[in-house]
Amino acid sequence: MTDLILTTFDWVPKTPRGYVRDIRVRWALEEAGLPYRVNSVPFRDRDAEHFSHQPFGQVPWLTDGDISIFESGAILLHLGELSDKLMPAEPHGRSDVKQWLFAALASVEAASQPWSFFKFSGDTEETQMRKFFDAFLEARLKHMETVFAGREWLAGSFSVADILMADVLRLVDRFDGLAAYPACRDYVACATARPSFVKAHTDQMAHFAAAD
């Protein structure tokens, strides 16, 4: 096997620590027991080399030999193809994992991210649009609550889809947005109690603290 190298920022401000998206990749690598190294790029001065790997100037990206992949969802899919601890071998299970990887981003995070921007802004004005975004997230959580009422993990056994969905919902939980959704909250609690998450979180916090 070639070296897997995860690239993240050298430093970030305190607020996003513990939530930088490299945690999704660390979590999957720890869960699968795949050996990897962590590489850093400057948070403040993002150069052409950075943009050649990540065209939006963000992190993370993963290199696997001569393949370089950005987007946490795409990286998780790639890792799922490397380990049956992250994606089952059976075709129906694989298809389920893939659809939930997309759903975590395009159906749930698409609603939770604008909502979280309002929360981060500290803006509490009850505008028409704010009510719209609140309702958009509520609708998605209501349906996820039904999904989790019938299953422990999204695609039969724990997979990269759960890493992505739990990380998306974890940010909602940070702002107490899951209070009315106990099954979603329990799901996040179960997922983040896994030793692989705890290790990934500890490592991310230590990585950024080392640069203070």
Residue 119, interface with its own copies (CB under 8 A)?
A: no
How many whole angstroms separate alpha carbon 22 and alpha carbon 155?
23
Nearest one of 56, 59, 47, 51 to 20, comparing CA atoms: 59
CB of 175 to its own copies, least distance (A): 15
Close Cβ partners of 70 (under 8 Å, ≥ 6 residues apart):
53, 54, 55, 56, 58, 60, 61
Question: In angstroms, what is the minimal distance from the CB of 37 to its own copies?
Answer: 20
User: In this chain, which stretch among 26-34, 74-82, 173-181, 189-197 interacts with its own copies, using CB under 8 A?
Assistant: 74-82
Tokens of 176: 């107490």
The least CB distance from residue 86 to its own copies, in Å, is 15
**Which alpha helices (H) appear in 33-157, and where do they start and end?**
48-53, 72-80, 91-103, 110-121, 128-149
3-state class of 123 per DSSP?
A: coil
Q: Using CB under 8 A, which of 121, 193, 195, 206 touches its own copies? A: 121
Task: Tell which residue, 161, 157, 160, 153, has the closest CA to residue 183.
Answer: 153
Q: Which is nearer to its own copies, 132 or 211 (CB)?
A: 132
Cβ burial of 79 (10 Å; 0-12, 13-18, 19+) is buried
Shortest distance, CB of residue 169 to its own copies, whole angstroms?
Answer: 15
Q: Interface mask (CB under 8 A) for its own copies, residues 124-163, using x and -?
A: -x-xxxx-xx--x--xx--xx-xx----------------
Site membership for its own copies, residue 40 (CB under 8 A) = no
Could you give the CA distance from residue 81 to residue 190 in angstroms, rounded to a whole number? 24
User: Given candidates 20, 23, 32, 69, which one binds its own copies under the rule CB under 8 A?
Assistant: 69
Give the tokens for residue 186.
Answer: 């329990």
Instruction: Give the shortest CB-203-to-its own copies separation in angstroms.
Output: 23
Tell me the pairing of strands 67-70 and 4-9: unpaired
> Which of 45, 66, 126, 212 is the binder for its own copies (CB under 8 A)?
66
Shortest separation between residue 10's beta carbon and its own copies, angstroms: 21
Contacting positions for its own copies (CB under 8 A): 51, 55-58, 66-67, 69-74, 77-78, 91-92, 95, 98-99, 101-103, 105-107, 109-110, 113-114, 117-118, 121, 123, 125, 127-130, 132-133, 136, 139-140, 143-144, 146-147
